[in-house]
Each structure stands twice: as structure tokens, then as C-alpha cells.
Amino acid sequence: MVNMFESKNLQNVKHGFFGRSGGVSTGIYSSLNLSEKTSDSRANIYTNRALVMDKLEISDQKVFFPNQQHTNNVVFIDKKTDFDKVSQKPVDAVITNLNGVGVGILTADCSPILAYESESGFILAIHAGWKGALTGICENALTSLRDLGVDIKKISVAIGPTISSKCYEVKSDFFETFIKTDPYFEHFFIKKDGNYFFNLPLFIESRFNLFGVYDIHNLGLCTYENSELFYSNRRAYHKSEKDFGRMASIISL
């Protein structure tokens, strides 16, 4: 059975944060792997994508997944968009207001962020790992929406399955990278027995707060801890697995 998690913040728009179960992939990709950047067979990936679309009841729609590269690049999808061309560009946030077009991202520890502004009818999907979050992917997405005339203070946001702070131990150079950017960023780390633990979802919330966005629902689901429910890059590394699957998070008008 396909697992789909929803947010109370996005009840008025089709959306879903998917786990790893209910698909046809096997082995380390078991079972709902959605990423073409893995060694999983294309047949499995396309079957899994069809299962996800069926679950969302958007089988007749197009869903655009960007070429995620941990950047701070944002793309706006409109009627003139050449999907083949834009899919080649490194992008980690997608905005649209087109009916019949969904936007999605793929994750396996990084934060999947979905957002909706009901008055303007704009939707947003963001892939935010630590690199993208630090270099401003959330800020750039909000600035892009504001430039499109959206009242960003009215946006409803949901943060899906993400590695939790207690499972996100980092080295001192990681900590120093953040502190050199802004000493205040120390607030997003917990130091325990000489080790640092990073709170990615809380850091992301702070980026939205800078723009006056406070309607944020963190589902509080840890990808690392829940091996039966979610893929995890870090868990795969600790288990010496050669690769890992990716989960989809999708929002559609």
C-alpha cells in the first residue's frame, strides 16, 4: 500500500508527502523509489510514479520534477515553459499557478517543502538540504513569489519527512561554515559531548520567518529513524549501501 502523508496546512489543495512503501522496486530501492538518478530500472520508476499519481488522483496531469542540484535556483512554470529545456537546468524550487500541472521534489533526508497561497492560487515545492538552505533557496523562492505579486505573508507551508536533529550529527567544520555566515546560526545546533547536531527543519522555518511567514506545519517525521517508512541517505551510508531510493513530495492545483 502506498503511504502518503498530508498536512493540515494544505487541506484545500492536492498534495502528498510519500514514503517508501507500496511500490514495485526491490533490494535497496524497496519499494517506492521515484528517482531516475538511481540504478533502479526505468520500468520500476515509471510504475512507481504512476502509483503516486493515482494516489493523488492526478493521473491525467503533468507533474514537473526539477533537476535538483542543492542550488538556490528557482523556476516559474507558466504556459510558455519548455519543460524539456527547463528540466536540464539545475533548480531546487518550482513555482506555478497552472491548473493541471503539479510540482514535485525528491528527497531522502533533505527537507521537502510544499506551500500554497489560496488567494493568488500559487503553489511552491522546495528541495532544501543544508547547502540550499544556507545559500538561500527558501529566501529566493519567497522573493520570486513576491515578485509575481503574491502576498507571501498569506502562504501556508508544510515541511515533510526530514532527518531529525538527534540523527543529524555534523563535524565542527560544518558548524563553522554556518557560524561564519551568521553567528546567530549557532541557535540551530545542539552541542552534546563535544559533538554538534543540526536542526534543519528549524533552520528552514527561520528562513520563512524572515519574510513574515509563520503558518508552517512541520510534520515531524524523521527519515533516518523510520527505516520501514522512509529512505535515508545517511542511513544508507552508515549501512555501507551503494545507493538509496528517493521519495516524492507533490503539490498540484
> Is pLDDT of 39 > 90?
yes
pLDDT tens digits along 221-239: 999 999 999 999 999 999 9
Measured CA to CA, the distance from residue 94 to residue 36 in angstroms comes to 18
Measured CA to CA, the distance from residue 197 to residue 192 in angstroms comes to 8
| Structural contact between residues 55 and 49, judged by C-beta atoms closer than 8 angstroms | no
200 within a domain of the structure (yes/no): no
Q: How many domains does the chain have?
A: 1
* Grid cell locating 187: 541557535
> Is pLDDT of 213 > 90?
yes
Radius of gyration of the chain from Cα atoms?
Answer: 17
5 within a domain of the structure (yes/no): no
Three-state SS for 157?
A: strand
pLDDT recorded at residue 109: 98
194 within a domain of the structure (yes/no): no
**pLDDT band at residue 205 under the 50/70/90 scheme:** very high
**pLDDT band at residue 193 under the 50/70/90 scheme:** confident
> Is pLDDT of 194 > 90?
no
90 within a domain of the structure (yes/no): yes
**pLDDT band at residue 16 under the 50/70/90 scheme:** very high
Measured CA to CA, the distance from residue 79 to residue 19 in angstroms comes to 31
pLDDT tens digits along 80-123: 999 999 999 999 999 999 999 999 999 999 999 999 999 999 99
Alpha-helical segments (H) within 42-183: 42-56, 83-86, 130-135, 137-147, 172-181
pLDDT tens digits along 131-180: 999 999 999 999 999 999 999 999 999 999 999 999 999 999 999 999 99
115 within a domain of the structure (yes/no): yes
* Grid cell locating 162: 526530514
Q: 109: alpha, beta or left, given left = phi > 0 and alpha = psi -120 to 50?
A: left
Q: What is the pTM of this model?
A: 0.98
Which residues, listed in sequence order, are joined to residue 195 by a DSSP beta bridge?
192
Residue 105: domain span? 14-164+217-252
CATH, residue 228: 3.60.140.10
Q: What distances in angstroms separate CA 45 from CA 3, 29, 50, 51, one per listed residue?
A: 16, 10, 9, 10
Say how many Å lie between the first and final Cα of the chain, rounded.
24
Measured CA to CA, the distance from residue 42 to residue 48 in angstroms comes to 10
68 within a domain of the structure (yes/no): yes
pLDDT tens digits along 48-73: 999 999 999 999 899 999 999 999 99
| Number of H-type helices and E-type strands within the chain | 7, 14
Three-state SS for 151?
A: coil
pLDDT recorded at residue 10: 98
187 within a domain of the structure (yes/no): no
Residue type for position 174 = F
204 within a domain of the structure (yes/no): no
